[in-house]
Amino acid sequence: MSVHAGAQPYRPTAPDDDSRTGLKLFAIFLGLAVGVLIPVVIWMGASAQDARNDARHAAANGGSSAMATSMPGMDMSSAQGAVATPSFAGTAPTNADALATAHRAYPAELPAVAPGPVANVRLELTHRVISIAPGVRYEAWTFDGGAPGPVIHVRQGQLVRVTIKNDAPMPHSIDFHAARVAPNVAFADVMPGKSFSYSFRASDPGVFMYHCGTKPVLAHISNGMYGAIVVDPKDPSLLPPVHHAYVIVSGEWYLNAPGDKVPAALDMVKAREMTPDWVTWNGYAGQYVKHPFAAHPGHTTRFYVVDAGPSFDTDFHVVGTVLQRAWVNGDVVDPPQHGIQTATVPAGGSGIFDVTIAKPGLYPFVTHSFASVDMGAVGLLNVGDVAGTMSH
């Protein structure tokens, strides 16, 4: 066999050469694998961090959508990125007028003060369907079966002993704004089927909100778990006696359905976006138009106003007169303001307002935030038992 100049003769590969070649191929493969794995590891780490961030975000917003979905009476299309249901404001059947007339209005007259040195307050916590507007039903969470809960009337210095019995399918609690107590102790969650008691001294006179303080508080208040407590001052001159006294609590309703065919429940997206369907005095839209408050010419009428929110302020106004005396923020220790046209009551706050009206007539009481009036926050003070009706 001839060999051309420069050509290398063929030699069979030795076993050592095979090993070296294998090692080189393995090194090349390993380099390629590392190049592929590094981005994968980075992606996995980023995904894990995103998951941790999502978990923290869900916790900061009252829990995960899975937890929220398990809460009875809530539409948790409230998962992040969900869209609110359409507005059902003003939804009413053709017989709405007859239904409003037949509705039994929430008793707004200030009840008698609890006698004795101790005021025993016992409240049952339940879930039940209630009416919140003519022909509109809602799956509410309630104190004693209503929204708002019952008005509590005590004296300054009286010991208030609170007992709640939870007959609802989830934890609830009760937070009294009139109480000076450690909230982690007194406002603790009460499990279904359990009872809980605590006491506080009614040290501060005025009118205050009470509500469920269980997380998410936005949901529990939006579902109707709120009410008012009136604390009379020891010194009667701080809050002079009047002829008529009414307690009204403003509340917002956020519906996931019209509520006309089947009961609606809470739409948490609407609640977070503060777009209610109804805004009410004492839980039912316009009920004091068909069932007005009564007063007499020349007599003084007192309004104890609590804004349960959970988010809107109330701008209290009586059409056709001015607020003769206004204890803004429910402060009865300092002298009242006089001749006020409109007084702001913040969400979670209160006010006490007196009017003396000389002429017979129908005098609407409203929040001067008129979007809320359009959604139901209007009532009438009938001075002199005049005939007819009106709205504003």
Any idea what the CATH number is for the domain that residue 114 is in? 2.60.40.420
Please classify residue 313 by burial: count the beta carbons closer than 10 Å to its beta carbon, then call 0-12 exposed, 13-18 middle and 19+ buried: middle
In a domain, 55, yes or no: no
In a domain, 30, yes or no: no
Cβ distance 244 to 250 under 8 Å? no
pLDDT tier at 83, thresholds 50, 70, 90: confident
Q: What is the pLDDT of residue 76?
A: 56
> In terms of DSSP H, where are the helices of 126-263?
183-186, 217-222
In a domain, 347, yes or no: yes
In a domain, 12, yes or no: no
For residues 181 and 247, give the distance between their C-alpha atoms in angstroms, rounded to a whole number.
25
Would the pLDDT of 285 be above 80?
Answer: yes
Higher-confidence position of 114 and 112: 112
Q: What is the pLDDT of residue 48?
A: 44
In a domain, 306, yes or no: yes
In a domain, 191, yes or no: yes
Note the pTM of the prediction, 2 decimals. 0.81
- Angle ∠(330,332,333) on CA atoms, nearest 5: 130
Give the phi and the psi of residue 147 in degrees, each rounded to 5.
-135, 110
In a domain, 57, yes or no: no
Pairing type for strands 74-75 and 266-267 reads parallel
For residues 158 and 115, give the distance between their C-alpha atoms in angstroms, rounded to a whole number.
9
Highest mean pLDDT among 15-19, 39-43, 49-53, 144-148: 144-148
Q: Tell me the percentage of the chain whose pLDDT exceeds 90.
A: 76
In a domain, 75, yes or no: no
Number of structural domains found in the chain: 1
Mean pLDDT of the 335-340 span:
97
Tokens 């000076």, residue? 180
Would the pLDDT of 230 be above 70?
Answer: yes
Q: Residue 199 in 3-state DSSP?
A: strand
First to last CA, the chain: 118
Would the pLDDT of 136 be above 90?
Answer: yes
One-letter amino acid of 79:
A
Mean pLDDT (the chain, rounded): 86
Range of the domain at 144: 105-383
Give the phi and the psi of residue 372 in degrees, each rounded to 5.
-70, -35
